[in-house]
């Protein structure tokens, strides 16, 4: 997997004094991505009381600007002035309000990471009028701005909320689970006296006051019961005051933020982890507790239903009932057999979740998003009995190049990584002035020089090719790993098959690439428009090969000749085409060069057709244009050629027809 440059937009980072599970999740994922060689930049807000503007944390470049409100504006300004086109993919974290980055980021793919949907929680956590602003933005704007973007969520419950509340398609939503480190395990024995633990931020929606009040119903049976509260937040003062007013301050220990080792000891020693939160995307502390051999008791809400398997790894209580909460705690504390059973199953389940696997899944999704590549088949040709029973023929892959050093590496790597190994790579360069020749010589010794155009290069390569099959590919393309094997499999099984079409998908991210992608999606699968790139060499030579006089529609013209020799098949795997390197001026020059050879194409077409178009009177032609402009301009009714019936070649045909009508 090639290295990526990833930008994270998040309102808090792991060092923020109010960091919680969302920040732990992103930091652990990013840390693992950095270990795998990827570059991660984390844009976030400054800390209350001050913090470094820039620093490296576990290999992650962290940039801080603004506060919890202005960081959203800083992100837009920073991207437009400093970050534009410097990243491969962007993760926009939604902590109630995302950065709405698709509004100002149009050339780089954006994925929205959502832990949970707040809904009416806005009115409990935020003051007026920001509570109404937040509620409106989440309910009405997120679904509108991100309607075409992919989403990452941490649980099935959050996925359902994203689909139902934001109106996002299920196909756009992927789940990457929370996890724990592999070495997260039980570090000490349970405490002698019953003890409970809560780990997390001290926010009102976490409802730690529920836990404190529930102790009053338990002291008569467990007088030495202790509740450990690990974490900090704006509610800490209120909670300490509540414990004091209830007369149980000595039984409620507020630890604040603690080291990882001490947290493991506290989780391992507790008889149960308890959370009464009203909203959770998953509850990362639940899995941490499970990994330390401690069962969990939580409120029966989306998110916690995913992390706590009721009756298997812990217990769920009725969301707003202190009575039910205290009963569930009593049931666990008074029943050693039940507690042992839940602890054992919780510990086993926690082993399924580790950050390395979650990071790998995230990387697969980001790479797919970055390249817009989606495998369309699980077929493995080389594993079939047929391919194992035959002698695998040589395939000659022919690549014409010219100043391609900056774009050819993905192609060369994809050729090297083909599952089919009996391949020879032939590169014919057109007098490049960059490092193209030096680069390709690292992959093949068969490097030649020819010009002036690519069909001259292809002709020279064919004379050097020793393969039974020929594959012509451009330097800005990339092959699916099973593509060559699939083509060989098909052509060896069907001796009447002389060529194969390779479906082509545009994967660039700029406006030109997106427009080309949209265009090509209209005719993927239309064999009257698509042309083959994989040929049986004998058939290619009989057909005469590519016409050296053509740049315009040379593939379509060859297709017409090759079809007369046999069957043209179709690969089930893709070629990925990236024209993002082209500027508008490059495109104009390229199309102009193609257009100059159009006269040769139409001259060949005219020889094949017995048309009476030129005998028609000018008045009839004008009337035909008015009556049916598409037929008159495109030539569908007169000139039977593919170039005249595709949007790709429409403009030259239009000019040719108008010259005939008015010239």
Q: Are residues 543 and 625 in the same domain?
A: no
Q: Which residues pair with 173 in a beta bridge?
A: 151
pLDDT at 69: 87
Indicate whether 398 and 540 sit together in one domain. yes
Instruction: Indicate if the pLDDT at residue 302 is higher than 90.
Output: no
The two structure tokens encoding residue 630: 């598409």
pLDDT above 70 (res 584): no
Instruction: Flag whether pLDDT at 623 surpasses 50.
Output: no
Give, as one character, the DSSP assignment of residue 260: H
Cβ-contact 638, 614 below 8 angstroms: no
Query: Residue 1 — pLDDT band, cuts 50, 70, 90?
Result: very low
Say what the pTM is: 0.58
User: Which comes out higher in pLDDT, residue 609 or 662?
Assistant: 609
What is the end-to-end Cα distance of the chain in Å, rounded? 56
Same domain, 538 and 627: no
* pLDDT tens-place string over residues 357-375: 898 889 888 887 776 555 5
The residue ranking higher by pLDDT, 528 or 19, is: 19
**What is the number of domains present in the chain?**
4
Q: Which of 164-173, 621-630, 643-652 has the lowest mean pLDDT?
A: 643-652
Does 536 share its domain with 635? no
Average the pLDDT over each of 270-284, 538-552, 642-656 and give the range with the smallest value: 642-656
Percent of the chain surpassing pLDDT 90: 45
Q: Is residue 595 part of a domain?
A: no
Compute the CA torsion angle 278, 284, 290, 294 (nearest 10 deg).
Answer: -50
Looking at the fold, whether 440 and 553 belong to one and the same domain comes out as yes
Q: Are residues 338 and 451 in the same domain?
A: no
CATH (domain of 416): 3.90.550.10
Please give the residue range of the domain that contains residue 617: 609-663
Tens-place pLDDT, residues 642-659: 444 443 433 333 334 334
598 vs 130, which has greater pLDDT?
Answer: 130
Query: 542 near 479, Cβ under 8 Å?
Result: no
Is the domain of 168 the same as that of 207? no
Cβ atoms < 10 Å from Cβ of 620: 11
Q: What is the average pLDDT across 309-316? A: 91
Q: What is the pLDDT of residue 435?
A: 92
Rounded to the nearest 10 degrees, the angle between the axes of helix 284-291 and helix 21-35 is: 70
572 and 453 within one domain: yes
pLDDT at residue 523, rounded to an integer: 66
337 band by pLDDT with thresholds 50, 70 and 90: very high
**Cα angle at 139 between 134 and 142, to 5 degrees?**
90
User: Does any domain span residue 207?
Assistant: yes
pLDDT in tens, 467-521: 999 999 999 899 988 999 999 999 999 999 999 999 888 776 666 666 766 776 6
pLDDT above 70 (res 2): no
Of 112, 295, 65, nearest to 186 by C-alpha is 295
Q: In 10 A of CB 662, how many CB atoms?
A: 10
Give yes or no: residues 413 and 530 share one domain. Answer: yes
The mean pLDDT of 238-257, rounded to a whole number, is 92
* Contact criterion met (CB below 8 Å) for 41 and 124: no
Please, what is the average pLDDT of the chain? 83
Pairing between β-strand 567-570 and β-strand 447-449 as defined by DSSP bridges? unpaired
The b/e string for 258-273 (b: 16+ C-beta within 10 A; e otherwise) is eeeeebbbbbbbbbbb
Please work out, in degrees rounded to the nearest 5, the angle formed at the alpha carbon of residue 277 by the alpha carbons of 274 and 282.
85
Q: Which residues pair with 401 in a beta bridge?
A: 429
For the sheet containing 477-479, what is the strand order? 477-479, 575-577, 504-506
pLDDT band of residue 538 (cuts 50, 70, 90) is very high
The structure tokens 């534009």 sit at: 84
Determine the pLDDT at residue 68: 83
Together in a domain, 205 and 166: no
Same domain? 297 vs 419: no
- Of 577, 600, 623, the one marking the end of a domain is 577
Q: Is the pLDDT of residue 660 over 80?
A: no
**Listed range (125-129, 462-466, 579-583) with the worst mean pLDDT:** 579-583
CATH for 126: 3.40.50.2000
Q: Are residues 171 and 260 in the same domain?
A: no
Q: Which of 551, 555, 560 is nearest to 609 (CA)?
A: 560
Is 365 a domain residue? no
**Where is average pLDDT lowest: 34-48, 210-224, 332-346, 575-589?**
575-589
Whether residue 392 contacts residue 422, with contact meaning beta carbons closer than 8 Å, is answered with yes
b/e map of 297-322 (b: 16 or more CB within 10 Å)?
A: bbbbbbbbbbbbbeeebbbbbebebb
């Amino acid at each position: 997997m090639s290295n990526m440059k990833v930008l994270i937009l998040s309102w808090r980072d792991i060092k923020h004094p109010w960091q919680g599970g969302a920040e732990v999740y992103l930091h652990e994922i990013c840390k693992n991505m950095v270990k795998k060689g990827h570059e991660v930049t984390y844009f976030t807000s400054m800390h209350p009381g001050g913090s470094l503007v820039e620093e490296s944390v576990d290999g992650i470049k962290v940039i801080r600007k603004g506060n919890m409100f202005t960081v959203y504006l800083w992100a837009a300004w920073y991207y437009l002035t400093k970050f534009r086109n410097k990243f491969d993919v962007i993760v926009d974290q939604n902590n109630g309000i995302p950065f709405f980055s698709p509004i100002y980021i149009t050339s780089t793919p954006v994925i929205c990471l959502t832990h949970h949907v707040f809904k009416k929680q806005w009115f409990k956590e935020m003051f007026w009028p920001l509570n109404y602003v937040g509620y409106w933005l989440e309910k009405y704007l997120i679904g509108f701005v991100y309607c075409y973007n992919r989403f990452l969520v941490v649980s099935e419950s959050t996925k359902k909320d994203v689909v139902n509340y934001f109106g996002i398609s299920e196909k756009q939503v992927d789940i990457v689970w929370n996890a724990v480190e592999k070495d997260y395990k039980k570090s000490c024995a349970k405490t002698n006296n019953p003890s409970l633990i809560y780990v997390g931020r001290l926010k009102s929606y976490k409802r730690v006051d529920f836990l404190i009040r529930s102790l009053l119903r338990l002291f008569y049976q467990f007088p030495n019961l202790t509740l450990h509260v690990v974490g900090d937040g704006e509610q800490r003062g209120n909670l300490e005051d509540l414990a004091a007013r209830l007369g149980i301050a000595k039984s409620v220990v507020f630890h604040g933020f603690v080291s990882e080792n001490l947290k493991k000891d506290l989780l391992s020693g507790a008889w149960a982890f308890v959370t009464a939160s009203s909203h959770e995307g998953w509850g990362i502390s639940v899995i941490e507790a499970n990994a330390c051999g401690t069962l969990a008791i939580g409120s029966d809400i989306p998110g916690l239903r995913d992390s706590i398997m009721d009756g298997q790894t812990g217990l769920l209580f009725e969301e707003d009932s202190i009575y039910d909460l205290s009963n569930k705690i009593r049931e666990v504390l008074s029943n050693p057999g039940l507690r042992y059973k839940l602890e054992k199953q919780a510990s086993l389940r926690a082993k399924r979740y580790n950050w390395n696997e979650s990071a790998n899944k995230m990387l697969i999704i980001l790479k797919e998003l970055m390249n817009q590549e989606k495998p369309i088949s699980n077929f493995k040709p080389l594993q079939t009995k047929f391919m194992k029973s035959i002698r695998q023929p040589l395939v000659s892959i022919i690549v014409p190049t010219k100043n391609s050093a900056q774009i050819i590496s993905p192609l060369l790597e994809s050729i090297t990584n083909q599952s089919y190994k009996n391949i020879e790579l032939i590169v014919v360069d057109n007098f490049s002035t960059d490092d193209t020749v030096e680069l390709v010589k690292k992959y093949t010794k068969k490097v030649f020089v020819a010009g002036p155009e690519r069909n001259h290069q292809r002709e020279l390569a064919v004379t050097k090719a020793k393969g039974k099959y020929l594959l012509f590919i451009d330097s800005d393309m990339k092959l699916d790993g099973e593509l060559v094997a699939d083509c060989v499999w098909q052509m060896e099984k069907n001796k009447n098959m002389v060529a194969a079409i390779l479906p082509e998908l545009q994967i660039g991210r700029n406006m030109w690439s997106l427009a080309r992608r949209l265009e090509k999606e209209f005719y993927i699968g239309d064999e009257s428009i698509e042309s083959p790139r994989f040929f049986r060499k004998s058939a290619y030579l009989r057909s005469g090969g590519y016409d050296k006089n053509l740049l315009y529609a040379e593939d379509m013209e060859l297709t017409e000749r090759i079809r007369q020799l046999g069957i043209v098949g179709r690969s089930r795997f893709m070629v990925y085409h990236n024209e993002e390197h082209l500027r508008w001026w490059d495109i104009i020059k390229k199309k102009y060069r193609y257009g100059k050879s159009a006269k040769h194409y139409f001259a060949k077409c005219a020889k094949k057709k017995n048309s009476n178009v030129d005998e028609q009177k000018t008045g009839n032609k004008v009337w035909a244009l008015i009556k049916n402009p598409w037929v008159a301009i495109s030539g569908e009714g007169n000139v039977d050629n593919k170039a005249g019936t595709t949007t790709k070649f429409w403009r030259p045909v239009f000019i040719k027809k108008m010259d005939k009508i008015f010239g």
